Structure 1
Amino acid sequence: MRFLLTTFAWPSHYYPMVPLGWALRAAGHEVLVASTPSLVDAIITTGLPAVAVGKDIDIAGRARDGKLHDHERWPTDPNRLNNVQQNLVKQMSHTMVDVADAMTDDLVRFARSWQPDLIVHESITFAAPVAAEVLGIPTVAHTVGMPFAPGMMVKKDGPALLPAYVRLYQKFGVAPRAAPSAWIDPCPPSMRMPGETTAPRLSVRYVPYNAPGAMPTWLIEPPTRPRVCITWGTSAVQMIGDAVTGLLSQAIEAVSSLGVDVVLSVNAATRAALGTVPDGVRVAESLPLHMLLPSCRAIVHQGGVGTALTAGIYGVPQLAVTQFSDQMTVGDVLAASGAGHHLLHDETTVERIKSHVVELLDDQECRKAAKRLQREIASQPAPAELVPNLVELAGRRASART
């Protein structure tokens, strides 16, 4: 059978789908990944074939212009957003519709030619359900592992579909698709927001893909001191520049004063933006986190869900220092679980970060909670176990076609 995976050009939204793509290929199915041109190289490095559709939208620029960071605490209940936060959600929604508009024509054209049996799409890649509706095939929305995803939960008196979203369908003479056939959700059950979903939820184990990398020789031997990882994701500097490096520099100063083995895991852009780092801080540029974290006693990070779940897999206590709304949600859920601590951007000082890391290293209850999260993630179905579900959905289309 043929499975089309699609996402907009943001690696952290594509990477959670990679293990499922591998599982489908290993089961003997055809898989292609469609995205706008700037993601094609990243797709190819994951070992899956790529096809470029549409044109790129400057999402990072819109984030900077829209001031999507450094705002007040974001409520975990999406029904309790204040007016400013509601406007930010609308702004982000319009950006995602613009991304879809830039992808849709080419995605529909390619799908008509390639004739997939099912489309698996990152949950806010709205071009995918348009193409699926045109072809009359099912879609499955794949979340990145957040406690909730836009459109996933059933809401009473929810807002009407955006007119711009409806127009994406009207262009092809089809009705808007309000929900997928199923949701694939790698978020551990204990971290999820309560509520009914708009379609059946297929739980899946979060399997980290943190880009390719080689094991450095220094990582082969166990550390002689407690090791603390500091990382700040792959896109924060691109989106908000110096507003990130200030917090990251505070974290580096705090942890490097503790006499622990400090590993700074960042990409090339973040490393360049930081400049000089203190003596004794080991810089591991573009080292996949799943290689590093098994040797760590704690991690300090920006609250990205991929980072948080990768740390969860290895039972590592976490400190999230957050600036964006989704990161704040992750930080709050981690803190509520007992597996980590959370500081907002406007609460941070070197001393406060230092104090939290000391607690993470010493607090046995936090370590036990981190191990509970580890066991919970491990208990979820592996991506390969979802393949029969997707084949069943795709089979409806294949049967109709033959």
Structure 2
Amino acid sequence: MRVLFSGGLGMPAVLRLVLLARAMQAAGNEVRFCCPARARHRVVRAGLVPVLAGPRQFGRAWRPDLVVHDPLCPDSAAMAAESGVPTIGYLPYARPPLSPRPTVWIDPCPPPLRERPEPGAWQVRCDAWELPGRPAPRLPALALTPRVCVTGAPAGSRPEDRRRARLFRRVAEGVESLGLQLLELTGDDHPWSLLLPGCVAVVHGGDEGVVYAAARFGVSQLVLPAGEDERRAGARLEQAGIGRCLSDDELAGDPSMLRLRFHVAELVNGGRALPEAVRLGLAVARMPQPADLVADIEALVR
């Protein structure tokens, strides 16, 4: 069976597709993978064959039997619609997917974090493929004090980027002023299995990849949302009891250091967030892995 995978611009979404693509290839299927240029080296290192052409152009020429695509990427969604074969889409966390609907949804979101479950969606654990042997950022030495990870600070030059970058710096300063270990990360592609087991809280901007990574490892979360999608993501973390999200009022001004320190200290030392996050991590560990879906996926084209 020929299976065409097509990822969008977000690295975390591409790395989730890589896990399923590897499982399909290991089961004897012929797999090709369309993705942005910056992710192609990851696809190659994963033992997959990347596609240099655009997904629509390649799909017309290769004629796959099945398409697995990112439903937030217009080219991927259009290619899937044109293929005339069964399609599979990974259900997004916060942002509404593009139409048309795939034949089957795969939902990597842990049920406590899903706002409106999709009937009939196939559950899968929210893992992402990590590059083997990649050096991890230098971690603080082991100590009795809790470690807090801060990631997702914008690096752009727009006024709103500079304002949010200042906010992330203030949070980092607040972490250190509480006597906690600080781990600051840049970029959107990290070996979470090495970084998060030693952390008790993660501060981020609401990115889906970080939400899922923290959920897998039972880590509480503080969200500094960049927009409506991230705000919705943060609200669901609050509803599930595993995190906090700064409100519009807090973001509109310049949050006081005292208030930021309170949010961090609450996640680390008090309230129900930490035990709820640990329980969520245990629940995620019991969810199906990508390899568990292979037989049902192959049955779609029989």
What is the TM-score with the length of structure 1 in the denominator? 0.66
The alpha-carbon deviation at position 129 of structure 1 amounts to: 4.6
The alpha-carbon deviation at position 223 of structure 1 amounts to: 3.1
Which of 269, 273, 293 does residue 366 from structure 1 map onto? 273
The change in CA–CA distance for 1:211 and 1:322 in structure 2 (over 3 A counts) is farther
Letter in 1 for 2:284: I
**Residue equivalent to 1:244:** 164
In structure 2, C-alpha distance between the alignment counterparts of 1:366 and 1:133, rounded to whole Å? 42
In structure 2, C-alpha distance between the alignment counterparts of 1:335 and 1:301, rounded to whole Å? 14
**Residue equivalent to 1:299:** 202
SS class of match (1:137): coil
The change in CA–CA distance for 1:133 and 1:317 in structure 2 (over 3 A counts) is closer
**Residue equivalent to 1:346:** 252
The change in CA–CA distance for 1:42 and 1:217 in structure 2 (over 3 A counts) is closer
The change in CA–CA distance for 1:36 and 1:26 in structure 2 (over 3 A counts) is same
Q: What is the root-mean-square deviation in Å for CA atoms of aligned residues?
A: 2.6
The alpha-carbon deviation at position 316 of structure 1 amounts to: 1.1
Q: Does the 8 A contact of 1:8 with 1:36 survive in 2?
A: yes
Q: Does the 8 A contact of 2:95 with 2:229 survive in 1?
A: no
**Residue equivalent to 1:205:** 125
The alpha-carbon deviation at position 43 of structure 1 amounts to: 3.4
SS class of match (2:174): helix
Give deviations 1:153-181, integer Å, cap 9, x for gaps.
Answer: xxxxxxxxxxxxxxxxxxxxxxxx73210
The alpha-carbon deviation at position 191 of structure 1 amounts to: 1.4
In structure 1, C-alpha distance between the alignment counterparts of 2:78 and 2:195, rounded to whole Å? 40
In structure 1, C-alpha distance between the alignment counterparts of 2:91 and 2:264, rounded to whole Å? 30
Q: Which moved more, 1:296-305 or 1:206-215?
A: 206-215
SS class of match (1:237): coil
Q: Does the 8 A contact of 2:115 with 2:236 survive in 1?
A: no
Q: Which moved more, 1:118-127 or 1:202-211?
A: 202-211
Letter in 1 for 2:286: S
Count of aligned residue pairs for this structure pair? 295
Structure 2 residues not aligned, in runs of 5+: none
**Residue equivalent to 2:97:** 150
In structure 1, C-alpha distance between the alignment counterparts of 2:36 and 2:184, rounded to whole Å? 31
Higher helix proportion, which one? 1
The alpha-carbon deviation at position 23 of structure 1 amounts to: 1.5
**Residue equivalent to 1:392:** 299
What is the TM-score with the length of structure 2 in the denominator? 0.87
Give deviations 1:337-360, integer Å, cap 9, x for gaps.
Answer: 111111143363322211111111
Give deviations 1:219-242, integer Å, cap 9, x for gaps.
Answer: 7x7433211111117xx4359542
**Residue equivalent to 1:253:** 173
- Please tell me whether Structure 1 or Structure 2 has the larger radius of gyration of its CA atoms: 1
Q: Does the 8 A contact of 2:13 with 2:209 survive in 1?
A: no
The alpha-carbon deviation at position 264 of structure 1 amounts to: 0.9
Structure 1 residues not aligned, in runs of 5+: 55-106, 152-176, 271-285, 396-402
Give deviations 1:89-111, integer Å, cap 9, x for gaps.
Answer: xxxxxxxxxxxxxxxxxx33322
In structure 2, C-alpha distance between the alignment counterparts of 1:239 and 1:29, rounded to whole Å? 45
Letter in 1 for 2:9: A
